Homo-oligomer: A and B are copies of this chain.
């Protein structure tokens, strides 16, 4: 019955549509397995969506952490983030993590706690990146690293969420570039 294949099918379904709109029944049908098989493998819908999120984190989100930890300087890293959010084909239908976070009140407890865990890790990574830029002297006056990290994370989330709603990538890039210009102008 191949659990990895089920995870791939579920991840793609959750990702392409909204997680809340994809039923367990539909996943079983798409994966060609029976419902008892799925429940034996993952325990519950919560177990499945959590497993999917784990897979997504290591297959996709890890790339964002790589960009942040690249140590290539403020300007260059911001450009890489803009490229990723605006034009990476994998973000064409949005980000599964952001979709889950946006509908967190519908998640089961396990998936929810994983979402919050990833959220905290992302904020920490953004903060570490900005702290390094501050240490290098590339930093506008009167802005805390904490606030900057929150701002940066939410602007990236906004841009990718807009891609999910079919917005023109060029427009998204324009808006995100404008939003992140607060880091490089003084």
Contacts and interface: CB of A to CB of B under 8 A. Distances in A.
Contacts of A18: 105
Most buried by B among A105, A155, A162, A178: A178
A62 interface: no
A185 interface: yes
Q: Give chain A's interface residue range (CB within 8 Å of chain B).
A: 20 to 34
Contact of A178 (B104, B175, B182): B182
Q: How many copies does the complex hold?
A: 2
Contacts of A179: 151, 155, 179, 182
Contact of A171 (B21, B150, B174, B175): B150
A158 B174 CA distance: 17
A154 interface: yes
A177 to B, nearest CB: 10
A147 B104 CA distance: 31
A102 interface: yes
Contacts of A44: none
A12 interface: no
Interface of A: 18, 20-21, 102, 104-106, 143, 147, 150-151, 154-155, 158, 162, 165, 171, 174-175, 178-179, 181-182, 185
